[in-house]
Structure 1
């Protein structure tokens, strides 16, 4: 893991510097938090619609997808937490055959059903700094995961409550409630993998640490928050401080993510994932982490991988050089975004194979 040390960020990839983010992709600082939440939700839906419409590169991702809106009661106050459940029930060969038969009527592809227990369950936790985002905010990534899973698998994406209306602990509790429910619903326990990006990665990592050993089979993190280094080096374990460079070094900042400022350290949480004891870390399942070099959270992902590796946990790190924080969410049309998504699918494949 020492090879992943970066004192300063490398130059941005020319393909990113040449890309101009369309108006509306980045939220104006002048908006109120509730306006930002509504705006972000709308922009994400429009982006997904644009990239899954007929003729688009990712149109096939939504051919045989079934979505179901559910609620899960909070374990704290019984609040009904909205959840989107994604499933698909046709094999790739069946989809191809149905599409050929239907010619241009691809929306009429018949759905089949299955009564066998799901082979894989994914609990997907969106990012957004615990302040923005909903269950479908990262739907393109969800659809891509969905299309790569065995037939009958399930993805549950959570609309957890957001700051500042609730404390960060409630965000975590909402996701913990869903994790517990996802496991409880299984008639025969499927493989359960936690997936989270950015602050969703923070929540996914904390859930994995809180779970009973053996109940979660893998963790997939993309640009995860794992520390509160911006509030001070004391929030990074001493043994890892040499490796954590990106939080305060200006070269890692971009227009997608600058210096992170919290009103209170750790957003009021008891600890961050990187602060877990070695004994806790040693019991975690295989973990795959994707990091971008031009990201203030670069060191968060690298240090967490180092901590897991030191604890004897199988871990792999995918490094995207010259690109900013979770760029695939705002620019899914770029070739590099597809490359990042495909790397993520390979990471998921590795987790499922390692968990056998």
Structure 2
């Protein structure tokens, strides 16, 4: 779905992009897709030269929606994996990401996590759709940090993170909370919320100004993350 825009980014930014075709639920249950994504990440780390890439100039893990979840979890895994000791991830680019199973929201944050109720009837993707996706995934434990990375034991040592969030999205508040938690941990962050628009709005209505802004700010996020490496 993103192949065309990723090709344009390769040219515009002079970067190499690997788009991992991980296996999907419900045919392949959790954690198949996650393990595929992580295997892809390790392959890239080992084979950067084949891609005419230099990890030292930037090693960014990005994802949109469910892919955002995989990007966050893979980054947490890599932080704790000796394999990546000399291959550090330098940034996360997260677009409308899935951050925490609604059945595992921490008690101390529940007052901040109201978007599943506020946006339960949102167009394009509503709260019932969200629950259905988790059912398809078949993960046995909603509190598993490999499913709900908000619940990871620590967020220290993570790279700078750029987030984009839709205002009329059941996932809105968990992404906003994740940015808050990262910032409190000392991680550099940037976040933009697009009010009044649903999940994936920029695919459905690419011609509207807010969709164009979303795409431009995705590119801005990539540029910002690359500048953090140079800094």
In the alignment, is the contact (CA less than 8 A) between 1:227 and 1:236 conserved in 2? yes
Please give the residue correspondences for 1:1-356 in structure 2 after superposition, counting only pairs within 5 Å: 137-150=1-14, 153-187=15-49, 188-190=54-56, 191-212=58-79, 215-229=88-102, 232=103, 235-249=104-118, 251=119, 253-259=121-127, 260-261=130-131, 262-263=134-135, 267-268=139-140, 270-271=144-145, 272-278=148-154, 281-356=155-230
Shift of 1:210: 0.3
In the alignment, is the contact (CA less than 8 A) between 1:291 and 1:319 conserved in 2? yes
SS in 1 for 2:135: coil
**Structure (1 or 2) with the greater helix fraction:** 2
Q: Quick one: distance in 2 between partners of 1:338 and 1:331?
A: 9
Q: Which runs of 5+ in 1 are unaligned?
A: 1-136
Q: Quick one: distance in 2 between partners of 1:347 and 1:324?
A: 20
Q: Normalising to structure 2: TM-score of the pair?
A: 0.84
Deviations, residues 262-293 of structure 1 (Å, cap 9, x unaligned) = 33897336321111123xx1110000000011
**Larger Rg over CA atoms:** 1
- What is the number of residues matched between the two proteins? 211
Task: Summarize the Cα distance change of 1:161–1:244 in structure 2 as closer, same or farther, 3 Å threshold.
Answer: same
In the alignment, is the contact (CA less than 8 A) between 1:222 and 1:289 conserved in 2? yes
Aligned match of 1:38: none
Task: Summarize the Cα distance change of 1:169–1:178 in structure 2 as closer, same or farther, 3 Å threshold.
Answer: same
Q: Which runs of 5+ in 2 are unaligned?
A: 80-84
Q: CA RMSD in A?
A: 2.0
Q: Normalising to structure 1: TM-score of the pair?
A: 0.56
Shift of 1:147: 3.6
Q: Tell me: higher relative CO, structure 1 or 2? Use CA pairs within 8 A at least 6 residues apart.
A: 2
